[in-house]
Chain A
């Protein structure tokens, strides 16, 4: 008995020592803050080290693990051409398995051990949101985040963070306007992921088709049975189903509709509308369920939105350019829209790095990002300015044809995240020659 009492006493004594510090949730009076002005870590005369976190294993890896493969090929291409401003880019990718705890660990590794100059294209909302404050405190540039959440655009709170892909609200507005005009009067059902993908998208859709929507259903990424949701949409008589889903759930929606004999017009958002990835997933899931389907046939007629050139679209100077890099550096990997996503990201970062100049500092990179000068392979302009850190601002609407190619139904539109007008893009896209980094 005496021993347990002394254990308690020691525990209490140490607790009292610790009590000297303030409340755990209170902000200390004097915080470090961004450290600009110091010489930039990760930069020498011949090298700049950057890092990123991606799901290379685990549930989100199928499809998404190829983004960094594409990005690395672009950096290899640029390095072989002499690098940017004489500096070769060293690209360090850490696997976080889409696990937020791992994300925090690997990002701290990149910052503290590898001493990266910047984090480029960190992937995922649940993952990247956990390192946002850390990167802000450490003053590490955190550019081209691979997620469409709105939280990356907060220049006051997170001056170092810049978005990349089209955010979910803008995408919802563009889809909503298209449905209102081109699919007028049809009953619409929604199937959205039960996180901010869902809420942000509905904010956009509701501006246009609130009275057309007859049913709203959410899915949980952990539960792969969407039969109840699809049945409810069918029962409500929805003729158009807007699916704001990650690739696996677009595929499940297609297969479940087939199973219950329901044939709505699908409208898929850019995060889950890569035809090559979808074909693979549909066939794989059907095989696991014990049936054989033709992915190509099932995908015919599906509509979707995208803001990048497609490998299956009409010939585009940028897809040809990236195909050249692909064939030279990673010919063994399939050339997909997901891979192009990573390639565009890497190219855009390299452009910003070039614009930051020979005398590279972290602040100069951020200035280059927010200058508004950045124009690249995407179909719509970036929103970047001093007080706007959102990425792509619009998208076009496409439809998958029977032969697997994609046809444009509506040219690229651009808009804002509030109630602003959805209008045609008037900016001219530069060609690869106009913004070339090599040669």
Chain B
């Protein structure tokens, strides 16, 4: 029956269902777990944006942390300089700012391929945070900006913990953005993105404007990055260059590979892994009570090992592994691609 409805309605209903589940989940969780739930949210949208670019369109970006940087500083500056703006306007503008930056980067990137594209985006991640040093009065240099975001309606202050409220806002924004992404991925744009990824010549012979498609992919993807950065700033009340290192950009890409390229579900597993691997490995390091110089570095080492193992065992990431499992469970059914035409 669901198949009869237009995809946008299905996606919206799914998002609504997810939101209800998440709100229930936040009531069951303690305040700090709510902060982690919200953290998964903003990483999810950043990785999902990257999934559209890399998974669907085949363009590699080693610089998505730079778009998060732009989003975070947009929210930070708006909160500090234009205090009258409500948070939803700040987040919207952070998304727009990320998108505009992506448009510019995409225009340059559309001419580049493979290692050259990777190099150019990497330069963005390395160079952009240094802008804070050029404008120390506005962007507060290497110390960065710190601020308190007021978003909770007066009636709710004191009745629910602030981290729970923050988790709701983050996930509302993330789910709305995911609905947009899912629609784009399923619609005409999704098809042209994949066509360009698979064979540029064939795509252009079929009437697809290759350059325009690539720039559009960059635009959507970096707008997601901007939103993710904005949500991070909203959640943590800080924007500092030390948070947007190359390591962030690389870990986003690693999360995408870990979760599974080419599917928005992969972004979810990747985001969960990004947040919870750290937690689990920290716990393991603590339990083992090793020498400080070993236990300090153990979480990073374990993350690397898991990444290698997953890529070797499931080349298509966690989502690929799950899908394989699902197919095996449902073997009696000959084909599961029963699309209503």
Report which A residues bind B (CB closer than 8 A): 2-4, 6-7, 10-11, 14-15, 18-30, 32, 56-57, 61, 65-66, 68-69, 95, 98-102, 104-105, 108-109, 112-113, 125-127, 129-130, 132-134, 137, 194-196, 220-222, 332-333
State in angstroms the CA–CA spacing of A30 and B152 once bound together: 12
| Nearest-CB residue, chain A, relative to B8 | A3
For residue B204, which residues in chain A have a CB less than 8 angstroms away from its CB? Answer: none
Report which B residues bind A (CB closer than 8 A): 6-8, 12, 30-33, 35, 39, 75, 78-90, 92, 130, 133, 136, 141-144, 146-154, 157-158, 163, 169, 172, 176, 179-180, 183, 187, 232, 234, 236-238, 240, 242-243, 245, 282, 291-293, 296-297, 299-300
B80-A113 in contact (CB<8A): no
For residue A32, which residues in chain B have a CB less than 8 angstroms away from its CB? Answer: 157-158
Q: Which 6 A/B pairs are nearest by Cβ-Cβ distance?
A: A25-B83, A112-B32, A101-B243, A3-B8, A56-B296, A100-B240
Q: Which among A19, A29, A129 is the interface contact of B143 at CB below 8 angstroms?
A: A129
State in angstroms the CA–CA spacing of A105 and B237 once bound together: 11
Q: Which among A14, A25, A109, A220 is the interface contact of B82 at CB below 8 angstroms?
A: A25
State in angstroms the CA–CA spacing of A25 and B82 once bound together: 7
- Could you name 6 residue pairs across A and B whose Cβ atoms are closer than 8 Å? A14-B88, A26-B150, A30-B154, A56-B292, A65-B293, A101-B232
State in angstroms the CA–CA spacing of A21 and B150 once bound together: 8
B237-A21 in contact (CB<8A): no
For residue B180, which residues in chain A have a CB less than 8 angstroms away from its CB? Answer: 7
For residue B79, which residues in chain A have a CB less than 8 angstroms away from its CB? Answer: 24-25
A23-B142 in contact (CB<8A): no
A23-B176 in contact (CB<8A): no
B151-A21 in contact (CB<8A): yes
| Nearest-CB residue, chain A, relative to B76 | A25
| Nearest-CB residue, chain B, relative to A15 | B88
Q: Which among B32, B84, B234 is the interface contact of A26 at CB below 8 angstroms?
A: B84
Given A6-B12, A130-B237, 5 further pairs, Cβ under 8 A: A7-B183, A56-B292, A109-B35, A194-B136, A333-B292
State in angstroms the CA–CA spacing of A74 and B35 once bound together: 33
B296-A20 in contact (CB<8A): no
B88-A26 in contact (CB<8A): no
Shortest distance in angstroms between B151's beta carbon and chain A's nearest beta carbon?
A: 6
Residue of B39, B80, B169, B243 with most partner-chain A CB within 10 A: B243
A29-B154 in contact (CB<8A): yes
For residue A27, which residues in chain B have a CB less than 8 angstroms away from its CB? Answer: 148, 150
State in angstroms the CA–CA spacing of A137 and B179 once bound together: 36
Q: Quick one: given A23-B85, A112-B163, are A130 and B35 in contact (CB under 8 Å)?
A: no
State in angstroms the CA–CA spacing of A6 and B242 once bound together: 40
Shortest distance in angstroms between A61's beta carbon and chain B's nearest beta carbon?
A: 7
B179-A7 in contact (CB<8A): yes
State in angstroms the CA–CA spacing of A15 and B177 once bound together: 13
Q: Which among A21, A56, A102 is the interface contact of B87 at CB below 8 angstroms?
A: A21
A28-B144 in contact (CB<8A): no
For residue A109, which residues in chain B have a CB less than 8 angstroms away from its CB? Answer: 32, 35
Q: Which among B35, B92, B150, B293 is the interface contact of A28 at CB below 8 angstroms?
A: B150
B32-A108 in contact (CB<8A): yes
A99-B141 in contact (CB<8A): no
State in angstroms the CA–CA spacing of A28 and B153 once bound together: 9
Residue of B163, B172, B179, B245 with most partner-chain A CB within 10 A: B245
A24-B146 in contact (CB<8A): no
Q: Quick one: given A3-B6, A21-B153, are A222 and B130 in contact (CB under 8 Å)?
A: yes
For residue B31, which residues in chain A have a CB less than 8 angstroms away from its CB? Answer: 112
For residue A20, which residues in chain B have a CB less than 8 angstroms away from its CB? Answer: 153
For residue A127, which residues in chain B have a CB less than 8 angstroms away from its CB? Answer: 242
For residue B147, which residues in chain A have a CB less than 8 angstroms away from its CB? Answer: 25
Shortest distance in angstroms between B245's beta carbon and chain A's nearest beta carbon?
A: 7
A108-B35 in contact (CB<8A): yes
State in angstroms the CA–CA spacing of A7 and B85 once bound together: 23
A26-B151 in contact (CB<8A): no
For residue A2, which residues in chain B have a CB less than 8 angstroms away from its CB? Answer: 6
Q: Which among B30, B141, B176 is the interface contact of A194 at CB below 8 angstroms?
A: B141
A30-B6 in contact (CB<8A): no
For residue B154, which residues in chain A have a CB less than 8 angstroms away from its CB? Answer: 28-30
Shortest distance in angstroms between A152's beta carbon and chain B's nearest beta carbon?
A: 13
